[in-house]
Amino acid sequence: MKQLNVLTEKKQKKETKALYESVFPEDKGDFLEWYYEDRCKDNIVIDIKVDEKVIAMAHLNPFTICRKGETYTDVFYIYAVATDVEMRHRGYMTEVLNKGFEIMHQKGIPFCFLIPTNKDIYEPFGFYSVAEFTPERIKDYESVKTEYDIYIKEDDDYRRRAGMEDVLCDENSSIPEDAVIMAKIISKESFLRFSGLKYNTTESEMIKWLRSQRIYISESV
């Protein structure tokens, strides 16, 4: 029997931990414990169970981003997309991603982003490369606001998580050296409000606009 589940409680989300360890063995140990204890407090996890075993998942990790210090919006970073090795190529990844897109659209999210190990996997889902990933975090937030157009809003909770991420991700990160940020437009109306573009702007023009912006994202989870 197959079940598609949307998990919002931290206790529920731990049912995906075994799949995470199986697909991303480099993240075992302190990082994984921290991730499920801290990052899973406020994210959304979508999974599929077959005969009570979790065989596919995607994590939607929330951030608030800012455009030139003027406009703020919530976005989601799609993370830990995984399918059990014996259950691949059966459409499960498509199911969890499409459910994620549906949830984000209901929330009025302008766009989501991810940092793929293989861009080709996500292009059929409407993701486009928009910027290079910044592997080293810039500690001076004021310089980020000066040098970049779009960046993640910094607050106490962000700084706390960023500090732990820097300590624990250093040796565990599976992000490739030439990593890029890929984005998918979710809600056109929300994107237009965030960007200030005209109402008749096409999706390809939205992506072109994103590519023209100086984007700073250094988060790996």
The predicted-structure confidence for 115-138, as pLDDT tens digits, reads as follows: 998 999 999 999 999 998 877 788
Conformation bin of residue 16: beta by default, left when phi > 0, alpha when psi is -120 to 50: alpha
pLDDT band, residue 139 (cuts 50/70/90) = confident
Number of domains observed in the structure of the chain: 1
- pLDDT for 42 equals 95
pLDDT of residue 137: 83
**pLDDT for residue 85 is more than 60:** yes
Which of 11-20, 158-167, 171-180, 196-205 has the least mean pLDDT? 171-180
Percentage of residues of the chain with pLDDT beyond 90? 77
Mean predicted lDDT score pLDDT of the chain: 93
How many Å apart are CA 110 and CA 22, to the nearest integer? 32
Q: Is residue 142 part of a domain?
A: yes
d(Cα 110, Cα 193) in Å, to the nearest integer?
9
Following DSSP, what letter does each residue of 8-61 receive, concatenated?
-SHHHHGGGHHHHHHH-GGGTTHHHHHHHHTGGGS-EEEEEEETTEEEEEEEEE
Mean pLDDT calculated for residue range 69-83? 96
Give the residue with greater pLDDT, 31 vs 211. 211
Tokens read off for 57: 């998942």
Structural tokens at position 173:
């990160």
The CATH number linked to 192 is: 3.40.630.30
Q: Is residue 221 part of a domain?
A: no
Q: Is residue 14 part of a domain?
A: yes
Are 110 and 186 contacting, i.e. CB atoms less than 8 angstroms apart?
yes
Does residue 170 belong to any structural domain of this protein? Answer: yes
According to the model, what pLDDT value does residue 174 have? Answer: 63
| pLDDT for position 170 | 57
CA distance 21 to 108: 32
User: Is 174 among the domain residues?
Assistant: yes
pLDDT, tens digit (0-9, with 9 covering 90-100), for 166-203: 778 655 456 777 889 999 999 999 999 999 999 999 99
Q: Residue 173: which domain range? A: 2-216
Residue 28 counted as domain residue: yes
